[in-house]
């Protein structure tokens, strides 16, 4: 594997970037929006405008229903939906606009045996490591079967952003749990997901897989795809996009992402 380069959002030459890319992808949580919350009106407007200039994809470990609440409900008909591509559960599913609605074009679901094994291992190791909190200390489901992905959320799927950010700031808890589960499931891919989550998917499925799929769908070579994400560290779930060869842009949150989009829009407006 060649050297992996990560570009900080405020060090990017946006005029150069605009002239070299044919598509751009985004992570969702802590990139386009705060965790499990809808896009802000400012983000929805800027993101929608960007789709009128270049194909845009959103790749996230979250399920499609989150895309619907966090993005689709916010953008309405402002976006050019023909230029918008949704890839939930790290690209194991792909949704595109068919002229009337968002259509699932493919889904790579886990077998029942693998889903059961993932749930058992996540449950056992979370309890062993003291991460299985009492029901009155979590918000919503802590284990979720997304068909193509099993997700453990230590504080529950509906935990407040502030609680999620405070729970594991150095990611040691999640990484330790992921390592233990990975040892049980060599036939699957186990990774540290969002701020409180660990995801289990089919072997070889991560955001590098999503980038390769997107490249084929759009007919755009991977080096001509930019990807914007907050987890571009080597243990982060956005880092595989850089490994795949995409132009990786690191942001620390939605405010940075909004600046990225506006910088690109400024370049497009001066063509």
Q: Which of 110, 114, 229, 236 is CA-nearest to residue 174?
A: 236
* Catalytic residue selected from 29, 168, 238, 256: 29
Integer CA distances (angstroms), 160 to 34, 45, 47, 132, 166, in order: 10, 25, 24, 18, 10
Annotated catalytic, 29? yes
* Catalytic residue selected from 27, 168, 238, 256: 27
Please name the residue that has the structure tokens 């009128």.
52
Annotated catalytic, 184? no
Per the CB < 8 A criterion, the answer to whether 202 and 233 are in contact is no
Which residues are annotated as part of the binding site for Mg(2+)? 27, 29, 230
Per the CB < 8 A criterion, the answer to whether 167 and 154 are in contact is yes
If DSSP codes are grouped into helix, strand and coil, which group holds residue 219?
Answer: coil
Burial of 177 (0-12, 13-18, 19+ CB in 10 A): buried
Q: Which of 21, 5, 43 is CA-nearest to residue 254?
A: 43
Residues designated catalytic: 27, 29
């Amino acid at each position: 594997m060649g050297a992996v380069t990560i570009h900080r959002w405020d060090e990017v030459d946006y005029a150069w970037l605009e002239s070299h890319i044919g598509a751009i992808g985004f992570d969702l949580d802590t990139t386009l929006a705060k965790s499990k919350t809808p896009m802000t009106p400012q983000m929805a407007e800027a993101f929608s405008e960007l789709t009128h200039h270049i194909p845009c994809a959103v790749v996230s470990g979250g399920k499609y229903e989150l895309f619907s609440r966090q993005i689709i409900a916010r953008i309405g008909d402002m976006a050019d939906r023909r230029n918008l591509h949704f890839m939930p559960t790290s690209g194991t599913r792909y949704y595109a606009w068919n002229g009337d609605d968002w259509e699932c074009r493919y889904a790579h679901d886990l077998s029942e045996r693998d889903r059961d094994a993932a749930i058992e291992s996540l449950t056992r190791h979370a309890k062993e490591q003291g991460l299985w909190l009492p029901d009155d200390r979590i918000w919503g489901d802590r284990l979720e079967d997304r068909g193509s992905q099993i997700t453990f959320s230590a504080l529950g799927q509906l935990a407040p952003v502030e609680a999620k950010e405070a729970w594991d700031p150095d990611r040691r808890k999640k990484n330790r749990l992921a390592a233990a589960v990975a040892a049980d499931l060599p036939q699957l891919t186990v990774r540290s997901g969002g701020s409180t989550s660990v995801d289990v998917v089919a072997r070889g499925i991560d955001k590098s897989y999503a980038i390769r799929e997107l490249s084929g769908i759009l007919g755009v070579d991977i080096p001509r795809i930019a990807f914007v994400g907050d987890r571009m560290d080597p243990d982060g779930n956005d880092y595989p996009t850089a490994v795949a060869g995409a132009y990786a842009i690191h942001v620390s949150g939605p405010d940075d992402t909004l600046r990225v989009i506006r910088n690109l829009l400024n370049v497009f407006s001066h063509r």
